[in-house]
Amino acid sequence: MSIPFIDLKTQYKQVEESVKKGIEGVLEHGAYIMGPEISGLEATLAEFSNVSHAVGCSSGTDALMMALMAQNIGPGDAVFTTPFTFIATAEVVALLGATPVFVDVDPVTFNIDADDLRRKIRDVKENRSDLKPKGVISVDIFGQPADYDVIQPLAQNSGLFLIVDAAQSFGATYKGKPVCSFGDMACTSFFPAKPLGCYGDGGMVFCHSDETYKLLTSIRVHGMGVEKYDNDRLGLTARLDSMQAAVLQAKFEIFPDEIAKRQIVADRYAELLSGIDGLTPPSVPEGNVSVWAQYCVLARDTEHRTEIMGRLAEASIPSVIYYPKPLHLQKAFDSLGYSMGDFPVSEDLASRIFALPMHPYLAAEDQETIAQVIKG
C-alpha cells in the first residue's frame, strides 16, 4: 500500500455522515448562494479566531484580493511581502496595478524577516519616488505563524496596513493567539489540501473593524450598496457557496482534534529525523503552534535533495518541492526587475527544501518507513 501525501479519503470517512447531512440540507432549502450555512460558518470561525467578523469568499486568492481592495490599493502603491510563498500572495498585488516589493525570509522559520522588512521600507521611502509604501502581507508559510509581536508594530509604526496570509495556517496560534486575529485583516483558504479544506474552492477574510467588514461584504458582491442594485464601488463575484460552507461546518467539528493529531505526527517526524547527517527538520519557536500544512525539511544541497527524493520515489513515497522557484525569479514578475542573488535566503531554501507526506492520519509505521528510506 502506498503512502498518500495528504489523505483526504481517510478524513472523509470521519465526517461522511455530517457532510452528507449538510449537503442534503442545502439541497432541501435550495439557497445555494448565501444560504444560512454562510453566516453560520462565519460566526463559528470568527469566534474560533477571536475576531469580530468573518467574510466567506470564493478562494484564498480572492480573500487576499478583497483585503487589498478594501485598502484601496492601486497603481503607485508598494506592498511588501516575501518571494518564498505561493504566487497568489504577490499576484493579487500586481493584478490591482500595485507593486509587490519583496522582502527576504528568516532562514529558520521561512517567514518574513523583520530586519529586511525595515530595510526595504526605508529603501522605498528614500529611493523610489514612483512608489508609496502602503502595506505588508506577511505569510504564515507551511502553517507556522510569522513573528507578529515584531511585524505588527513595525507595520503600524511605518504607517502601513498588515494583511496576514493565513492560507496555510488557519488553526495555528502565535503565543496562544489565533493567527487570524492578527493584522488589519487575515485571509485564509479552504482549498482541499489546506489544513481546513472544503470540497472545491473557498476562502475567508477576518477582521476586527466594523467598517472594514462592511467594505468586504460589499466588495464580495459587485460593490453592492445597502440595496441590492445599488453599486457603491466596483467589486467582485467572490462569494463562498452554501454547499462548501456545509462541508466546512461538518469538517470543523473534527478540526481541533486534527490540529492535535498533526502536532503528534510532526513531533514523531522530528524525533525520527533528528541526527541525520545534512538533514534539517523544521523548527517552530517555543510558544507557537504550527498546523503543519506542509512538513518541509532541508537537505544539505540540491544534489542531496535529488538523491533523497529519488529514493523516496523508488519506495513509492511522494515528496514535493515547495517552492522550487522564488517569486522574484518567476517570469510573471520579470517586469519588477529582480535577479538571482537578490534574496539569498529564499534562493537557498528553494535549492534544497522538500516536503514529506503530512496529514492527521499518517501512521507511525509509515513515518518510520519514510525515515528509513531517507536514511538510505
Which residues are near ligand PLP by CB under 6 A?
59-61, 85-86, 88-89, 139, 165, 167-168, 189, 191, 201, 203
C-beta separation of 269 from 356 below 8 A: yes
Residue (325 or 375) nearer to ligand PLP, CB: 325
Q: Nearest to residue 281, comparing CAs of 294, 295, 291, 262?
A: 295
CA distance 231 to 219: 10
For residue 353, give the H/E element and its range.
strand 353-356
Residue (167 or 374) nearer to ligand PLP, CB: 167
For residue 65, the minimal CB distance to ligand PLP (Å) is 9
All three cell numbers of 314? 523508488
C-beta separation of 76 from 134 below 8 A: no
Q: Tell me whether strands 99-102 and 77-81 are parallel, antiparallel or unpaired.
A: parallel
3-state percent breakdown (helix, strand, coil) of the chain, nearest 5: 45, 15, 40
Q: Where are the alpha helices (DSSP H) in 164-227?
A: 210-220
For residue 376, the minimal CB distance to ligand PLP (Å) is 31
132-139, strands of its sheet edge to edge: 53-57, 203-207, 185-189, 161-165, 132-139, 77-81, 99-102
Residue (104 or 165) nearer to ligand PLP, CB: 165
Residue (189 or 367) nearer to ligand PLP, CB: 189
C-beta separation of 217 from 56 below 8 A: no
Residue (291 or 370) nearer to ligand PLP, CB: 291
CA distance 59 to 18: 23
Residue (58 or 181) nearer to ligand PLP, CB: 58
First to last CA, the chain: 20
Query: Hey, is 204 helix, strand or coil?
Result: strand
For residue 188, the minimal CB distance to ligand PLP (Å) is 8
CA distance 78 to 75: 9
CA distance 295 to 262: 10
Residue (59 or 152) nearer to ligand PLP, CB: 59
For residue 88, the minimal CB distance to ligand PLP (Å) is 4
Residue (23 or 187) nearer to ligand PLP, CB: 187
Comparing every residue's Cβ against ligand PLP, the nearest one is: 60
Q: Nearest to residue 33, comparing CAs of 254, 246, 249?
A: 246
Q: Tell me how far apart the 2 most distant CA atoms of the chain are, in Å.
A: 65
Residue (191 or 255) nearer to ligand PLP, CB: 191
